[in-house]
Structure 1
Amino acid sequence: MSGFDAGFDIFKIIAFVFPIIFVFVFAGIFFALIKGLKQWNYNNKQPKLIVPAKIVTKRIDYVQRANTNQFAHSSTHYYVTLEVESGDRIEFQIDGFIYGQLVENDTGKLTFQGTRFINFERQ
């Protein structure tokens, strides 16, 4: 009896584990897609609002991931927090170009729809 016939067959293990991993990855992508579609649908059902607001703060979320092949993937997310007349604060994820044009403590008119930032016009 050789070492390969000792009951430990790597191919049987891979044949068993691979479909399980595939199902988990597919399910993760599916649920992320459903979540995004639900958010998009929610925002489309909300009215577009234009309210006076003040830019309270801005922040950047920089994420860097490296995989086993030493290739790095990075992404940058830009956020702005605005305070409306009622005192409520709302944070939006925005485009980097818009982020660069906004200045803390500026006041103006905020246009948004649900959780979707549309525009901020300085006064």
Structure 2
Amino acid sequence: MGFSPFDDFMFGVMPILGFLIFALVIGGFIFIIIKGFGQWSANNNSPRLTVPAQVKTKRTNTRGGGGDSSARTTYYVTFQVESGDRMELQMYGNEYGMLAEGDLGILTFQGTRYLGFERNGTAE
């Protein structure tokens, strides 16, 4: 029993296909790392600002939790500053739980990095 031309084709293509898939996965990881480092660096080079703001909306994003995997929840709050501009900042769950929509206060942030919110009232 000999090899057919299809067998020759598969033995030639499969190693190339395997390498391409491996390269795409590694390339994806490298892209994510570079993007994260770029955002971290941009935040470090941004000024630290403290401005009056209002909590407009809150949201969460939950991933995982199926089968044997644990769930991971990311917390976001949208703040509106006096100029009317809005920004959504990611924060930890314990800080997220302390804020309510409509809260007024002083927001401290650096780039896209949330640093704190000192509540001083609520909008009427």
TM bucket normalised to smaller: 0.7 to 0.9
The alignment status of 1:6 with 2:4, answered yes or no, reads: yes
Letter in 2 for 1:110: L
Deviations 1:3-47 (A, max 9, x none): xx3342666544222211111011111111111111111111111
User: 1:18 & 1:73 partners in 2: Cα distance?
Assistant: 30
Show structure 2 runs of 5+ residues with no match: none
> How many Å apart are 1:96 and its aligned residue?
1.0
Q: Does 1:78 align with 2:75?
A: yes
In structure 2, what is the equivalent of residue 16 of structure 1?
16
Give 2:95's match in structure 1, choosing from 56, 75, 98: 98
Match of 2:58 in 1: 58
Structure 1 CA distance for aligned equivalents of residues 70 and 93 of structure 2: 18
Identity among equivalent pairs (%) = 45
Over the residues paired in the alignment, what is the CA RMSD in angstroms? 2.0
Render the CA deviation track for 1:80-117: whole Å, top value 9, x for unaligned. 00111111111011111111111111111000001111
CA-CA distance at 1:76 after TM superposition? 1.4
Instruction: Detail structure 1 runs of 4+ shifted over 3 Å in the superposition.
Output: 9-14, 70-74
Where structure 1 has 5 or more consecutive residues not aligned to the other structure, the ranges are none
Aligned-partner residue type, residue 84 of structure 1: V
How many residue pairs match? The answer is: 118
The 2-side partners of 1:72 and 1:49 are apart by: 38
1:73, distance to aligned residue in structure 2 (A)? 5.4
CA distance in 2 between counterparts of 1:64 and 1:38 reads 26
CA distance in 2, matches of 1:81, 1:104: 9
Name the TM-score, length of structure 2 as normaliser.
Answer: 0.84
What displacement does 1:60 show? 0.9
Give yes or no for the alignment of 1:116 onto 2:122. no
